[in-house]
Amino acid sequence: MAENSPSQPNPFHPLRWEDWLAAIAMGLLAVITFANVLVRYLTDQSFAWTEEYSTALMLILTLAAAGAAVSRDRHIRIELFFSTGSANRQRVLALVSAAASLGAFGILTGLGVKFAYDDFQYDVTSPGIGLPQWWYSSWLPALGLAICLRALIHLIRVWRSA
């Protein structure tokens, strides 16, 4: 059986923790949104807390999906330039792509740390139900760091594949 190249990830790999986190976030988001719609329809009132939880779950879902995409090498790129080139060109573009992902999510993680720390330091509370805002904002640097580690692992794997 031939080994997969860095640009051709194994389609039969097991589910990763990002998949489970995204599925749980999506399930909770669906349940919360359905409950809010049902309550609005029946009572003409809304659950205020659903907006905050939905926003936090959307952040978690987005970053978990981004982590899954990076770990599978399925992030956005222009396939025409990638797939029509030589093996060396594909390797160079894969290196550039992984480095760009690492850089972008590194910046996002650094800014997320500052954002979450400011929420914690200044005791910012959520507008709807008054929970500490850092409970929500701390997901950004945590998942951003996980994506950075996935991108770094991918970068090293592509680098060693020469």
Residues in the chain, how many? 162
Distance of CA 160 to the CA centre of its chain: 25
Q: What is the pLDDT of residue 51?
A: 87
> The whole model's pTM is what?
0.84
d(CA 146, CA 143): 5
Helix, strand, coil distribution of the chain in percent, nearest 5: 70, 0, 25
Q: What is the pLDDT of residue 14?
A: 60
Residue pLDDT, tens place only, 72-99: 888 878 788 888 889 999 999 999 999 9
pLDDT band at 10 (very low <50, low <70, confident <90, very high): low
Residue pLDDT, tens place only, 101-157: 999 999 999 999 999 999 999 999 998 889 999 999 999 999 999 999 999 999 999
